[in-house]
Structures are given as C-alpha cells and as structure tokens.
Amino acid sequence: MPVTLTLLHACFLLWTSFIQWTVSAPLKRPDSCPGYKASNVQRSDSSLTADLTLAGTPCNVYGEDLHDLKFLAEWQTDSRLHIMVYDKDEQVYQVPEFVVPRPTGSVSSDASMLDVSIEEEPFSFTVTRKSNGEEIFNTKGSNLIFETQYWRLRTSLPSNPSLYGLGEHTDSLRLPTSEYIRTMWARDAGAVPEKTNLYGTHPVYYEHRIDSGNSHGVLLLNSNGMDIKINDDDGQYLEYNVIGGVIDLYFMAGPSPMDVAREYSEITQKAAMLPYWSLGFHQCRFGYKSVEEVAEVVANYSKAGIPLETMWTDIDYMDNFKVFTLGEKFPLSDMQDLIKGLHAKDQHYIVMVDPAVAAQDYPAYNNGLDSDIFLKKADGSIYKGRVWPGVTAFPDWFHSNVQNYWNSEFTTFFDPETGVDIDALWIDMNEPSNFCEYPCNDPRVGDHGVTQVEISKHNIQDASPHVAATQALTLQPKVWNKIPHVHARRPVSRQEGSTGNGGKKKGLPGRDLIYPLYEINNHLGVLSNRTADTDLIHQGGWTEYDTHNLYGTMMSAASRKSMLKRRPDKRPMVITRSTFVGAGSYVGHWLGDNVSSWDQYLTSIRHLLQFVSFFQVPMAGADVCGFLNEATEHLCARWTVLGAFYPFYRNHNVDGQPPQEAYRWESVAAAARKAIDIRYRLLDYIYTAMHKQTVDGTPMLAPLWMHFPNDSNTLAIQTQFFYGPSLLINPVTEESSTSVSFYLPSSTWYDFSTQKPVSGAGKTITYSDVADTDIPILVRGGSIIPLRVKSAMTTRALRDQNFELWVAPDADGNAEGSLYLDDGESLVQDGTSEIRFSWDGLTLKMEGTFRFETKLVLKSFSVLGDDVRTYRLDEGLDGPWEHGVGDLELL
C-alpha cells in the first residue's frame, strides 16, 4: 500500500476513533464487517471447496479486506479434517513446508468421524462429530474478516468449556473461559509470568466435552503474531485475531483425549527418541566461574553419593559470552580433562550455545560474514542487536549456507579430539532475544546508557515478585475489543518480490511490518521490541514479521543436524528455549527462567504437561529448585523430589544467588538420593513410555482428565499427574505442610511405598507426615510395572541391573504392562524388544518381540495387595514364557 494512502488511512482511523469517543457511534468495528459469500460450492468424495467473495463494502479495520478467498476442506484420515481459507492468488504468507512439513492423506468423507457444512451467505462453516451430532467448531454469527494484516475467525463453544493447550503459558491447565487472551509471540520472559506470551508458540487446543466423554483438538498452523480470545460476553466463544498468514486448521476427532494426542503426533511428526542417559540427573548453573569449580561440583556430587549423570555449563565457559570460544578460566586442555574424566566415569557434559554471534573480529563472526548467513537490513548491512557478548549479529536460518556454517562451527569447536567433546547441546535466547529495545538505534548502548553487559542474565531485575507483579498490572490488560490505535508510520519496508510474487506464499507486498494496525497483546509492546526487527527479510524473501515464531525451531532443527554430523550414529539431545509446532521431533524444552518460589514449583506441573501431553515435546522439565532468586532448603528438597518425575530432570541456578546443588544441604541430599533411586529403578518403565510416545504419540505424562475422561472432578486438576501409564504423582502442594490432600478417581489403587491397596477412590484423600524426601505415588490397578532391582550411580551401571515386576491387579484381578528394550543410544537400532506382560490372577505371561540381545533376567514379581506376595522368576528377556503361580517359589 503506497505511503500516501497509508497516511490517509491513518488519519481516517484517527478520525473514526475520535468520532467513537465523541459521538459513540462506531463506524469501523470488526463487528460491522461484511463477511463473505460462498459460491461454486463443490463437494467431492474427500473434499469440499468453495469460492468466497467479500459480501459488501470493505471495512478495512486493520488493513484492507481481501476480495477473493478460497475455502478448502479435505478429509485426510478417518479422524483428521483439514480446513483452509486462503487468498485466491496464494500470495499471503503460509508457514513453509520445509519448516513444518504437512501431513497428507485423503479418505472418503464417509469414512470420517467428522463432517463439515457451509452456509453460503453470510459464509460460515460448521464441523460436527457424526456419531452424536456434536458441533465441534461453528463460525456462524460472526463474520469472517480477512485483511492484508489481520484476520478474525470465531467459533462458538458450549458454555463453560474445558479447553487446554494454546501455549506456551503458565496459566491454569484448564484455560479460563472469560476475558482471556492467549498471545502468540515468542518472547524472552524472565520469571515466566502468567497471562503473558512466553518463549514458544503452539496454537493447538484440546477440548473435552464431559457430557459425551469425547475430546477433539484444533490446530491453527500459523506462525504470525496473534491473540486468541476466549470469552463469554456474547455467548461462549474462541476467537482468532491474527496479523498475517492464512486460516489453516486441523481438526482431530479423538474421540478419547489420548486419541487426540496421538492424532496430533501425526501432524507434528513423532517426537525424537532421546538417549537413555538423557533421563539421568543433570546439574547446571549460571555462574560457575572456572573449570575447577565445575570439576569440584562433579566431585562433590560423587562424595555425597548422589548420582550425577550429566554436568552442564551455561555461557560462563565462553570468552566474554562469545559463542564458539573458551574463556580464560576454561582453557581447552582443562576442559578436555574435565570431559575425559566425566566420560571415564560414564558421565556426560553439555554446554550452551546461543544463536547471536558477537560482531567482533573472531572466527565465528568472520566465518559467518564469509558465508553471508547473518540477517541483513534493507540497505544490505548486517542487522545488529545486543545480547550477552554485546553487539551481535543473528544467523538467518532460512539462508542456504547457514547449515554448512553451523555444521562447520560445531565440527571445529566441538571436535572430539581437538575441541570440546560435548554429549548434547543446550540452545537458548532463540526467540530470538535481544536486550536492545526497539528501535535499537545503537546496539552498543544498554537500557540505562550502560555500554557493556551489566544487565544480569535473563532479565534478573524482572524477577523480583514485586517488579513482575507491577509489570503485569501496567502492561497486561490492554483494552478488550480495542479501538484501532494509530502509530506514527514509517515508510513501508522493502520486501523482496514486492512487485508481485503471485502464488509464492511469502507474504503480501506493501505491509507495515513494524506497526501493524492490530496490536497483539505482546507483553513487550511493539513486535520488534527486544527481538530481531520484524521488517528484516530472510533469504528467499520471508519476512521476520511472518516467521519470528519459527526462529527457535529452525535453530533447533539446524542444531540437531549439526550434532548428527558430529556423531552420526547416536541420538542427539538438544534442549531449547523457544519452540514451535513440531519442535519435539528435533528437541526437548526446559521450561525457561523460573523462580525459586513455592508457586513456581507448582506451576511447573501444568507448564510441563502442556508440552508433554498436548504439544508432543516429551523431553521437558523445569529448573529444579528454581532458577532465579534464592532457593530455600525446604523448597529445594521438595522440588528435587518432584523433579524426579519430570522427563527432563535438571537442577539449575542463576548467577549471584546462593548455590543450590543437591549436596549443599543434608536434607536435600537425602531427598535427591531417595528420589533418584526411585526414578532410576523406574527408568525403563518411563523409557518405555517415552518410546511409545515417539512411536504413536501417547503422552508419557498426562493430566488426570486424559485418563478419566468421564470424571468431571478431574477436569481442572493441575497439581497431580500421571507419570507413564500407571503411576499417579501427588506432590505436597503447600509450603509449610507435611500433608497433602488429593483426588483419587474411581479405580483400584496401591501405594507405591507400601505396595498395599489405598481406599477412597472417587474422593479426596489425605496423606499425612509426608517427609521432605517423599512424595505420594499411587499405582493404578490393572498395571504391571517393570523395575530394575537396584538403582546405580550412572544410567550405564543401571543398565547392568536385572529386573523385577510389580503386578497391581484391577478389580477383576487382571493386569498388564510393557517393557521396551534397546541399546539406549543408537539412532538405528540393531534389535529392540517390545515386551508385553499380562496377569489374570493365576498366570503371568510374557509375549512380544525379542530382538534386543540381553543376558539380564527378571528376578521376581510381586503381586500388590493387602498381603503382598513375591515369586521367584529368574526368567530371561529373550523369548516368551508363562508361569502359573502354583509352580513358582514364594519368596
């Protein structure tokens, strides 16, 4: 749009808002938009298409209305329906297929659980579940708006709906249903505050209908900034307000909650299987000042008898925080000695790498210049921001040379002989974070005119509860249904192909990529604030405006490839901060820069479940004992025990706070020894669950409602969760308390520590005298759980331990379970075993496939109950067998 027109338009909007205030006669409100009219409706066996035409005078609320659109519905599987509304010329940006590969497939609509119908004028569509006629999605009553920099689509919902997902956030697991906005815009968020946009973008929700017991899921595959509003001021609804891209929806029919998760995993690509050792206990902190200090921590863990699987180092190891360098206090030979020492004891080492490269004369920067991979401004100069090392450039993950550049930095710096031989990788700051506030006229200058890195890491100032709360108050509640607000405009940015890139799906030309008229509720204000400028153009012509939310996931994919180059046969582990739809197929996620506070200990559970249960990122966990602020002994003990049930189990602390390694207090050391003992004995049980998630999408952790979809008491429970299919974890939830009351759904249950039945199912029960070293764990009746007979100091040693089984019969006396065995680290396995156990009260059976060679045996099995019975087995894990209890020796 030409500048003059833009200015006119701006004046007009100013004038209209003036009129709105004075005359209170709104002229241009979204609700007055004309909507669309459908024509040429065609239904085939597997699709429904239509042409959409603007049904009246353009309303141009936040841009210009597009006149001609296309509607497409395609039945892809019996449970998945894909619906798109896009511009006729296909110029509007769409998430590139090479970043997020799309699922394909086509089935007859007759075979599908879902149906779709459209109304022609005003255009609306409805998705229904055929089995009971339930309307899953219905856009009637609210006109579709589709403009150059804004689109809006609203679905009505049943009252008081049970909605989950739409991350990343730290809000309630079951989402609020009134005046609630979920904003998607990747952001470096110190202290992970509630009701704000955080590091990752996952615009998928799960909805559970308790009346039918059915669940479904809806993914909006769109990477633009957006506000998803959930409100009940005009009937209950969910409304997408998106500043670009197309309407690209995937409907998953369930019908069970677990089915929805599995169906979602068909879209995200299955999560990456991680090495067995990644489930061990990890220690990290920001603020280890030298390689000697790191080595001391390793030694002190060993002295304390606490199994330390992996040692980590934050950016401290770098020379002035420059990526791919070693600082004075971390000389190469000492680093190599440290790592050799760790490897000799079957322990591991991980360091952090950030995307931003210091714009200084050193190899990583010079190599980046030579391969031309940094993001550039319109005038061709390198775009600069400010991150840890000071002035930095940012890799353009769209660049055709960027993978080679990244591979080469990794191959050199992390060379096993001549470099730092890391075992896995941690990537951070990849929203991307930039300390420089927009417009960042001088990236050398800090917030208060300070020129060097004097701000502490990860916005520590933001972290004091007081500051965080004040910010929340001042920044958070923007006007609900706000009136367009007009900024002083800058000249419209140059965009490659702006003379018409018909059908390229790279974005309409002439948009204002800095100040779109619709302002999403970004906690940092304008889109470009404290990140890369949104008018930057990536190689190939994609704008940062459209692809900002992909930056972390593109870095993740590139980093995984670089790690594979180093060790082509091993499963890479990469832990990232920023994620997008599908990230779990490359990486895991730590839950960001947490606070050492009691509320965060609890919040970590719902934050974790989002990723594992809803977003298919199973390797997730919060910083145990909390990152920011000071951890107290009591909190750290409780958190060390809770963290033993996160897939990703890492203690991590910020610089400048007192140390919080588990050995620092005797009670925490005791808690760590006990919790790790339980975790490690159960490691193959959870490894089996993780493997299952990577194969069929069944979440390895889940909230209660996903297991008890007909029990309305479970819908909002967010401080208890299932660890694997059979164990219910119920942490103490109050700081000063040693007791915990929690809900126990109707089923048969056994206490993990006594192995005896627990009564009170269907009610809230109370555990008293829960010591700091303990956590109530309940075993669900009907399960068989494999355990190692003993724990060990490393997961390598653990792999030499034999197994035993715990049989927890259901009300009918039956139980079943499974065990997956492989070598723990090869990308392509020589042979794996997938073993199923079953019990009918008299006979224990083992069946399955047995291609993993092992001499380990199942020593015994115990039948849980009032009178626990343990039988000697001494059976191998290399072929099927069955035994009646009559033939077995009772131990």
Ligand X SMILES: *[C@@H]1O[C@H](CO)[C@@H](O)[C@H](O)[C@H]1NC(C)=O
Task: With beta carbons less than 8 A apart as the criterion, state whether 720 and 736 touch.
Answer: no
Is 428 known to be catalytic?
yes
Q: Smallest distance from the beta carbon of 245 to ligand X, in angstroms?
A: 23
Cα distance between residue 564 and residue 579, in whole Å:
20
Provide the residue type at 194 as one letter.
E
Q: Smallest distance from the beta carbon of 238 to ligand X, in angstroms?
A: 23
Q: Smallest distance from the beta carbon of 891 to ligand X, in angstroms?
A: 36
Q: Smallest distance from the beta carbon of 833 to ligand X, in angstroms?
A: 29
Provide the residue type at 853 as one letter.
E
Exposed, middle or buried by CB within 10 Å (0-12, 13-18, 19+), for 370? exposed
Task: With beta carbons less than 8 A apart as the criterion, state whether 788 and 681 touch.
Answer: yes
In the three-class reduction of DSSP (H, G, I as helix; E, B as strand; rest coil), residue 208 is classed as: strand
Tell whether residue 450 is a contact of ligand X (CB under 6 A). no
Considering only residues 105, 525, 831, 880, which one is a binding residue for ligand X as defined by CB under 6 A?
Answer: 525
Part of the chain binding ligand X (CB under 6 A), chosen from 401-409, 599-607, 771-779, 849-857: 599-607
Q: How many CA atoms lie within 13 A of 139 on its CB side?
A: 26
Tell whether residue 660 is a contact of ligand X (CB under 6 A). no
Tell whether residue 524 is a contact of ligand X (CB under 6 A). yes
Please give the structure tokens belonging to residue 832: 């794996």
Q: Catalytic pick from 431, 684, 825, 834? A: 431
Tell whether residue 465 is a contact of ligand X (CB under 6 A). yes
Tell whether residue 134 is a contact of ligand X (CB under 6 A). no
Tell me which residues in 708-767 interact with ligand X (CB under 6 A): 709-710
Q: Catalytic pick from 259, 428, 774, 804? A: 428
454 to 326, 577, 640: CA distances (angstroms):
20, 22, 31
Phi and psi of 129, rounded to 5°?
-90, 120
Q: Catalytic pick from 593, 772, 804, 822? A: 593
Tell whether residue 167 is a contact of ligand X (CB under 6 A). no
Part of the chain binding ligand X (CB under 6 A), chosen from 192-200, 257-265, 572-580, 697-705: 192-200
Q: Which of 17, 832, 854 is nearest to 487 (CA)?
A: 17
Tell whether residue 189 is a contact of ligand X (CB under 6 A). no
Binding pattern for the stretch 199-228 against ligand X, x by CB under 6 A and - elsewhere:
--------------x---------------
Q: Smallest distance from the beta carbon of 708 to ligand X, in angstroms?
A: 7
The 3 state secondary structure assigned to 523-579 is CCCCCCCCCCCCCCECCCCCEHHHHHHHHHHHHHHHHHHHHHHHCCCECCCEEECCC
Tell whether residue 529 is a contact of ligand X (CB under 6 A). yes
β-pair partners for 253: none
Considering only residues 224, 603, 748, 802, which one is a binding residue for ligand X as defined by CB under 6 A?
Answer: 603
Tell whether residue 532 is a contact of ligand X (CB under 6 A). no
Task: With beta carbons less than 8 A apart as the criterion, state whether 822 and 693 touch.
Answer: no
Angle, CA of 316, 438 and 366, to the nearest 5° = 50
Is 593 known to be catalytic?
yes
Q: Smallest distance from the beta carbon of 428 to ligand X, in angstroms?
A: 18
Is 431 known to be catalytic?
yes
Tell whether residue 630 is a contact of ligand X (CB under 6 A). no
Could you tell me which residues come within 8 angstroms of residue 187 by beta carbon, excluding any fewer than 6 positions away? 196, 197, 198, 199, 431, 522, 523, 524, 530, 531
Cα torsion 633, 289, 576, 258 to 10°: value is: -20
Binding pattern for the stretch 403-442 against ligand X, x by CB under 6 A and - elsewhere:
----------------------------------xx----
Tell whether residue 534 is a contact of ligand X (CB under 6 A). no
Tell me which residues in 286-315 interact with ligand X (CB under 6 A): 293, 296-297, 300
Q: Which of 842, 789, 846, 790 is nearest to 816 (CA)?
A: 846
Considering only residues 76, 139, 170, 265, which one is a binding residue for ligand X as defined by CB under 6 A?
Answer: 170
Cα distance between residue 841 and residue 350, in whole Å:
47
Part of the chain binding ligand X (CB under 6 A), chosen from 101-109, 138-146, 524-532, 807-815: 524-532
Cα distance between residue 570 and residue 827, in whole Å:
5
Phi and psi of 444, rounded to 5°?
-75, -20
Exposed, middle or buried by CB within 10 Å (0-12, 13-18, 19+), for 362? middle
Residue nearest to ligand X (CB): 525
Tell whether residue 191 is a contact of ligand X (CB under 6 A). yes
Q: Smallest distance from the beta carbon of 665 to ligand X, in angstroms?
A: 12
Tell whether residue 192 is a contact of ligand X (CB under 6 A). yes
Tell whether residue 258 is a contact of ligand X (CB under 6 A). no
Q: Smallest distance from the beta carbon of 836 to ligand X, in angstroms?
A: 21
Task: With beta carbons less than 8 A apart as the criterion, state whether 257 and 706 touch.
Answer: yes
Tell whether residue 597 is a contact of ligand X (CB under 6 A). yes
Considering only residues 210, 468, 517, 605, which one is a binding residue for ligand X as defined by CB under 6 A?
Answer: 468
Tell whether residue 823 is a contact of ligand X (CB under 6 A). no
- Interface residues with ligand X (CB under 6 A)? 170, 191-194, 213, 293, 296-297, 300, 437-438, 465, 468-469, 524-526, 529-530, 595, 597, 599-600, 603, 661, 709-710
Q: Which sequence positions are flagged as catalytic?
A: 428, 431, 593
